[in-house]
Amino acid sequence: MSRTRLFGSLCALVFLVNFARVVFAPLVGEFIDAFGIQEGTAGLIVTLAWLGSAAPRIPAGWALTRFTRRRVILVSGAMLTAGALGVALAPSVLALMVAAFAIGLASGVYFVAANPFIAELFPRRVGRAMGVHGTASQLAAVIAAPAVTVALWYDWRYAFYGLAAAAAASTLVFAALAARTNLPDAGAGDTDFLAAARGEWKLILAGVVLMGLTSFVWQGLFNFYELYMIDKGLPPATARNLLTVIFAAGVPAFLVSGDLADRLPHVPYLLGIVTAFVGGVVLVVVAEGLAAVIAASVVVGFAIHMLFPAGDTYLLGSLPDESRASAYAMFSAGMMSTQAAGSWVVGEAVEAGATYDAVFLALAGGLAALVVAYAALYRLGRVPGGAAGATRAV
């Protein structure tokens, strides 16, 4: 069986995994109305989904030293099915929080297993493969807001019933294709989780700080984007659909960035992307009028979604076979833990009286300082990264 077909089934799974995470953002207002909660609590629900995505990454990395990538991916599909059903049936805020966390757990297990697996399926074009995989993920983000709009004609819970059914079917398809495909054994030597993490700690830390803090700002921005746009004076329907604009801009960004990541020096490329994202956030804050807001949203969406395949290529392309999955799991756990609190912090700041403009300008300023620091360290040869098994001087 062709590896391309197996890769196609992974693209279907990642579509559902990402849909399950991003669908919470356009539902923040519904949660506030349905359960009688405040912005901070609503932000916590979203944060729990992303904390859930961070929580299993180290255990999943350890599991990959004992079980095949295929088995761990299958477990993630089963977890996604159960979590989606939990959200659909949630009778209270507490139950909703638990189910959101469970959905996050499924996504965390999936990405820790699937990303190294894809890098090993296509070792000569890691960036390209991650770009296509990311594009499938991003299509889910584009569809999330319109899907919520349609579901709200009936009941928002229907979106999660559909997700559960699709997750179960896609998991079975992946299992059937994987059983008939000649799979790579590049990770067979990755059997000591702690040794891999210790050996690659500098690269892991460099990725966590840059990717994690940038994603922290992104989490806070996109999960409150609808409410922020309403605060700017836009109609609720328009505000919700601006999320679609942001995510649609990310579809070509994944493909473009994946190809560029195979060709350009990793660290300067990443710093350029983060700089563009900072500029986009500032543009969103200062934009006035629908046309200007749409243009700024496109800049933000394109820039931030270039970051993800570039960051994965930086890590996966720099890590050797014998430590790739374990070290990537440590990076993923750190990065996701760092970003997960973004929506909670923004929600609490707004609830305390800060304006959205002030919060997002402060976050953009912090990221700008981070870029300057990384650029200086890179010039001094203190940022690790490069070809597999190689790093700059540290």
| For helices 342-351 and 39-54, angle between their N-to-C axes, nearest 10 degrees | 170
Over residues 78-129, the pLDDT tens digits come to: 999 999 999 999 888 899 999 999 999 999 899 999 998 998 888 878 888 9
Predicted model pTM: 0.79
- What is the rounded CA–CA span in Å between residue 148 and residue 363? 29
Mean pLDDT of 323-339: 85
Mean pLDDT of 219-226: 89
pLDDT category of residue 189 using cuts at 50, 70 and 90? low
Residue showing tokens 């070509």: 252
Residue 82: is it exposed, middle or buried by C-beta count within 10 angstroms (0-12/13-18/19+)? middle
More confident residue, 342 or 110: 110
Structure-token pair, residue 206: 């460099």
Structure-token pair, residue 183: 């799979």
Q: Give the contacts of 196 (CB within 8 A, at least 6 positions apart).
A: 190, 322, 323, 326, 327, 330
Q: Which CATH number fits domain 3-379: 3.30.930.10, 3.40.50.970, 1.20.1250.20, 3.40.50.720?
A: 1.20.1250.20
Three-class secondary structure of residue 108 per DSSP: helix
DSSP, res 67:
S
**Closest by Cα among 220, 228, 298, 243 to 26:** 243
Mean pLDDT of 274-299: 96
Structure-token pair, residue 320: 């050797």
- What is the rounded CA–CA span in Å between residue 170 and residue 110? 13
- What is the rounded CA–CA span in Å between residue 23 and residue 143? 9
Strands of the chain, DSSP E: none
